[in-house]
A and B are shown apart, each in its own frame.
Chain A
């Protein structure tokens, strides 16, 4: 039983990281109609960004803040202005293709221009574990859960309790109506891109210590973020959280009780099951026939 709780706990921590990436992904889809196939790379780049700042002498916390700023500029504002805005009028497919192009370009640029190797990354949390009621809990897991939890809490508060946040929700739910009602849709959408950039940097901070910084680290994260978002329900932000955590927990449980080889398949199987039997996602609402 103790094993099980440990697995669930650390699975929730890992899942929280997927959830952050999935959350940004879902927000982008809802508010801007963008399916960002480069989401994994949006996590990979800040990992290398932080390494870069640290190589220049900055401590981790400073590197993190600087990378957040840089990410908001490039992955938030830059991505929106340069790629999304010119393409959104051509429909979903050209935009998806462009994000695929971004994914490929960025991966190869890092690989060819910087390094094809895996680089270690310092953990923001102290190493080691402590015992609580007979279960071993790592500081890293606690730290991850706390940090992810705080971010999500702030984000939800922002979205639900502030005027801007509620405006963003209105835009996400019905962009045309929001425009007619006078919301500054462009600004709201920009905020979503900025939020996604920050979520990606946080995810990078939390995941890279374990998985190491490598040009293709985005593949697995991006895929899991995508699966998590769909599993939870693409039209619900809470769905991204549920999907991420569910994947994290089940991966651990299956990896331990069944076989480590099947760990990879968990997210995939969940995804396929949802697509086939409950396509709107676990928390999603069934969409009315599109006119």
Chain B
């Protein structure tokens, strides 16, 4: 039973482990996420955060453990199956469709959830998502580059597109892997505000990996600290930050 975790668990991660030979990348991690909650995951490099994400999100199969989402066992489900259940993610490295325009990137992110394969063939070119995409473009302040190919934009802009794409299908659960990495400090606050806004308007739950402490502490009411594949500390940001073991884990490296 975790220290201050939510009781109406939307996402339940139970004792997930991922082993590569003798290396225990994820060594028995359990936590819960409630509906509409924002949970932060921090920890030094190599502590297993991204491996944990990949294990939950079907990119790799966990060695053992269960992941339950809305009372359904989603352990080991493929990314495709997960997307159908309203689970989305962003990646540590930029993953946009470089040759498509920004607008097309956003439409592509949500079009597969509309209708059937055949109905999409016969639909309008924008799959009826034009307005939705435009609103998202406005929210992310990308109007002036909306028609340009995503690959031609700056890193920060592509990062925004990357994140916007994850939210286009209004997912119920989003896992964000280091959304602030490589982003201009002036953009970080804007990003945080965007996430708060999306959390309010869409009502989804977020799990955010991040190294930017300020960002995490301001955004997430509940924080988990991972070290060497295990959960070291969990609770409100202030509590976790004050935990001497957490400080040592960061400084000791």
Taking Cβ atoms with an 8 Å cutoff, the residues of A that contact B are 288-289, 291
Task: Give the distance in Å from the alpha carbon of A222 to the alpha carbon of B78 in the complex.
Answer: 37
**What chain A residues lie within 8 Å of B61 (beta carbons)?**
288-289
**What chain B residues lie within 8 Å of A288 (beta carbons)?**
60-61
Interface string of B53-64 (1 = CB under 8 A from A): 010000111000
Task: Give the distance in Å from the alpha carbon of A288 to the alpha carbon of B78 in the complex.
Answer: 13
**What chain A residues lie within 8 Å of B59 (beta carbons)?**
291
Interface SS majority for chain B: loop
Top 6 A-B pairs, shortest CB-CB distance: A291-B59, A291-B60, A291-B54, A288-B60, A289-B60, A289-B61
Interface SS majority for chain A: loop
Residue of B nearest to A291 (CB): B59
B155 to chain A, nearest CB (A): 20
How many B residues touch the partner, as a band?
under 10
Task: Give the distance in Å from the alpha carbon of A291 to the alpha carbon of B57 in the complex.
Answer: 11
Task: Give the distance in Å from the alpha carbon of A172 to the alpha carbon of B136 in the complex.
Answer: 45
A261 to chain B, nearest CB (A): 44
**What chain A residues lie within 8 Å of B54 (beta carbons)?**
291
Taking Cβ atoms with an 8 Å cutoff, the residues of B that contact A are 54, 59-61, 78
B9 to chain A, nearest CB (A): 27
Residue of A nearest to B59 (CB): A291
Instruction: List 6 additional contacts besides A289-B61, A291-B54; criterion CB under 8 Å.
Output: A288-B60, A288-B61, A289-B60, A289-B78, A291-B59, A291-B60
Task: Give the distance in Å from the alpha carbon of A254 to the alpha carbon of B203 in the complex.
Answer: 67
Task: Give the distance in Å from the alpha carbon of A14 to the alpha carbon of B59 in the complex.
Answer: 44
Task: Give the distance in Å from the alpha carbon of A289 to the alpha carbon of B54 in the complex.
Answer: 12
A170 to chain B, nearest CB (A): 15
Task: Give the distance in Å from the alpha carbon of A289 to the alpha carbon of B79 in the complex.
Answer: 11
**What chain B residues lie within 8 Å of A289 (beta carbons)?**
60-61, 78
**What chain B residues lie within 8 Å of A291 (beta carbons)?**
54, 59-60
Task: Give the distance in Å from the alpha carbon of A289 to the alpha carbon of B61 in the complex.
Answer: 9
A182 to chain B, nearest CB (A): 19
Residue of A nearest to B60 (CB): A291
8 contacts across the A-B interface (CB closer than 8 A)? A288-B60, A288-B61, A289-B60, A289-B61, A289-B78, A291-B54, A291-B59, A291-B60
Residue of A nearest to B54 (CB): A291
**What chain A residues lie within 8 Å of B78 (beta carbons)?**
289
Task: Give the distance in Å from the alpha carbon of A289 to the alpha carbon of B77 in the complex.
Answer: 12
Task: Give the distance in Å from the alpha carbon of A291 to the alpha carbon of B61 in the complex.
Answer: 11
Residue of A nearest to B78 (CB): A289
Task: Give the distance in Å from the alpha carbon of A291 to the alpha carbon of B53 in the complex.
Answer: 13
B234 to chain A, nearest CB (A): 28
B194 to chain A, nearest CB (A): 27
Task: Give the distance in Å from the alpha carbon of A290 to the alpha carbon of B78 in the complex.
Answer: 12
Task: Give the distance in Å from the alpha carbon of A12 to the alpha carbon of B234 in the complex.
Answer: 65
**What chain A residues lie within 8 Å of B60 (beta carbons)?**
288-289, 291
Residue of B nearest to A290 (CB): B59
Task: Give the distance in Å from the alpha carbon of A166 to the alpha carbon of B72 in the complex.
Answer: 47
Task: Give the distance in Å from the alpha carbon of A288 to the alpha carbon of B18 in the complex.
Answer: 14
Task: Give the distance in Å from the alpha carbon of A291 to the alpha carbon of B59 in the complex.
Answer: 6
A290 to chain B, nearest CB (A): 10
A74 to chain B, nearest CB (A): 37
A288 to chain B, nearest CB (A): 8
Task: Give the distance in Å from the alpha carbon of A186 to the alpha carbon of B215 in the complex.
Answer: 42
Task: Give the distance in Å from the alpha carbon of A288 to the alpha carbon of B54 in the complex.
Answer: 14
Task: Give the distance in Å from the alpha carbon of A288 to the alpha carbon of B61 in the complex.
Answer: 9
Task: Give the distance in Å from the alpha carbon of A291 to the alpha carbon of B55 in the complex.
Answer: 11
Task: Give the distance in Å from the alpha carbon of A291 to the alpha carbon of B89 in the complex.
Answer: 14
Task: Give the distance in Å from the alpha carbon of A132 to the alpha carbon of B15 in the complex.
Answer: 66
Task: Give the distance in Å from the alpha carbon of A291 to the alpha carbon of B91 in the complex.
Answer: 12
Residue of A nearest to B58 (CB): A289
A173 to chain B, nearest CB (A): 13
B72 to chain A, nearest CB (A): 21
Task: Give the distance in Å from the alpha carbon of A37 to the alpha carbon of B247 in the complex.
Answer: 56
Task: Give the distance in Å from the alpha carbon of A291 to the alpha carbon of B18 in the complex.
Answer: 15
A181 to chain B, nearest CB (A): 15
A6 to chain B, nearest CB (A): 47
Task: Give the distance in Å from the alpha carbon of A288 to the alpha carbon of B63 in the complex.
Answer: 13
A93 to chain B, nearest CB (A): 15
A174 to chain B, nearest CB (A): 12
